[in-house]
Amino acid sequence: MNHLERKTLIVGNWKMHLSVHQSSLLVHRLTERIKVHRNVEVILAPSMLALQPLSLEMDHRRFQLCAQDAYPKDEGGYTGEVSFAMLGSLVQYCIVGHSARRIYFGETLEMVRDKVEAAVRNGISPIVCIGETKQDRDAGQSRQVIHDQLTTALMNVTSRDLEKVVLVYEPVWAISTFDGIIAKPDDVAKAVAYMRMQVRELYGERAAEKVSVLYGGSVNEHDVRSYLEVPGVDGALVGAASLNYHQFAAIVDEAYRIRIKAEA
C-alpha cells in the first residue's frame, strides 16, 4: 500500500487554553488562512466548553472537531464527566491517553483501553497517544512502554474498528510542557516502525499499512517537515504551536506542500 492512500492529519491540541471567545477568534483567523485539501485533514481540539459553539460556527469542510478526553461509561452517576456517547453527534475525534492525563490524572492502561473502546462504540475516532517518559527512555524501557500502551489500548478493538483508530507517537520527553527535548526524526522513525510492527502482529500486514500514525512533541512550523517526511508518519499532533494562527497555518501549509509534491 502506498502511503498516499492514507490522509495527512494535522491536529491542534489547545489543552487547557483559550476561552470560548478566544477559541472562536482563533478558528475565524484559521479559516482565513487555511485552504481545503481533500487529503489533508485539519483537526481542532479545543476545551470541552468550546466544542458546541465552534461546531455551530465553523466550516466543516475545513476543520474536524476533536475532544481532548471523555468518560468511558455512556451515562450514569459520574458527576463532572462527559461521555463519548454525549459527544457522538458533536465531534469526529477524541484524544485518548494523552500523557497529561496519564501523568496528572493517573490514567491507567486499562482506563485508556476502556476509553478507546467507548470512542469506537460511539462512532468517534480515538487519537491514541503512546509514548515513554524521559525516565523510561533513560532506563532503556522505551519499547516495553510503547508495547504495553499500544497493546492494551487496542485490546478491545476489532480489525474492522481499527480503521477508525489513529495512533500517535508522542514521547513525553519531547512535549513542550514536560522536558521539551527535540526528537530526532531517526528516533521517531524507529518508534513509529515499532508501533506498526505491533499492529502487524495484532491485526496483520494490511492493517499495519492502513493505520494512521502521527507524531507529536514540540512540533512547530520549522521542524514539521522533518517529521512528516519520516516514512510511516501521517501527520502531527501539535500543542503550543496550534494556539498561534500564524504558526499553525504555516504547519498546515507545509503539510499541503509535502502532499502536493508527493501526489504530483
Instruction: Tell me which residues touch ligand 13P (CB under 6 A).
Output: 13, 98, 175-176, 216-219, 237-241
Shortest reach from residue 134's CB to ligand 13P, in Å = 14
Is 170 noted as a catalytic residue in this protein?
A: yes
Using the minimum distance from each CB to ligand 13P, give the nearer residue, 146 or 237.
237
Shortest reach from residue 63's CB to ligand 13P, in Å = 17
Q: Could you tell me which residues come within 8 angstroms of residue 244 by beta carbon, excluding any fewer than 6 positions away? A: none
Shortest reach from residue 159's CB to ligand 13P, in Å = 27
Task: Please report which helix (H) or strand (E) contains residue 45, including its range.
Answer: strand 40-45
Task: Please report which helix (H) or strand (E) contains residue 213, including its range.
Answer: strand 212-216
Q: How far is CA 114 from CA 28, 90, 97, 107, in A?
A: 35, 20, 10, 11
Using the minimum distance from each CB to ligand 13P, give the nearer residue, 188 or 240.
240
Is 5 noted as a catalytic residue in this protein?
A: no
Using the minimum distance from each CB to ligand 13P, give the nearer residue, 122 or 218.
218
Catalytic annotation, pick one of 41, 98, 117, 132? 98
Q: Which string of b and e fits 73-103 if b means at least 16 CB within 10 Å?
A: eeeeeeeeeebbbebbebbbbbbbbbbbbbe
Shortest reach from residue 177's CB to ligand 13P, in Å = 6
Residue 216 has phi, psi (to 5 degrees) of: -140, 145
Residue 215 has phi, psi (to 5 degrees) of: -115, 145
Catalytic annotation, pick one of 41, 132, 170, 221? 170
Using the minimum distance from each CB to ligand 13P, give the nearer residue, 106 or 140.
106
Residue with cell 510503547: 146
Using CB positions, name the residue nearest to ligand 13P: 239
Catalytic residues: 98, 170
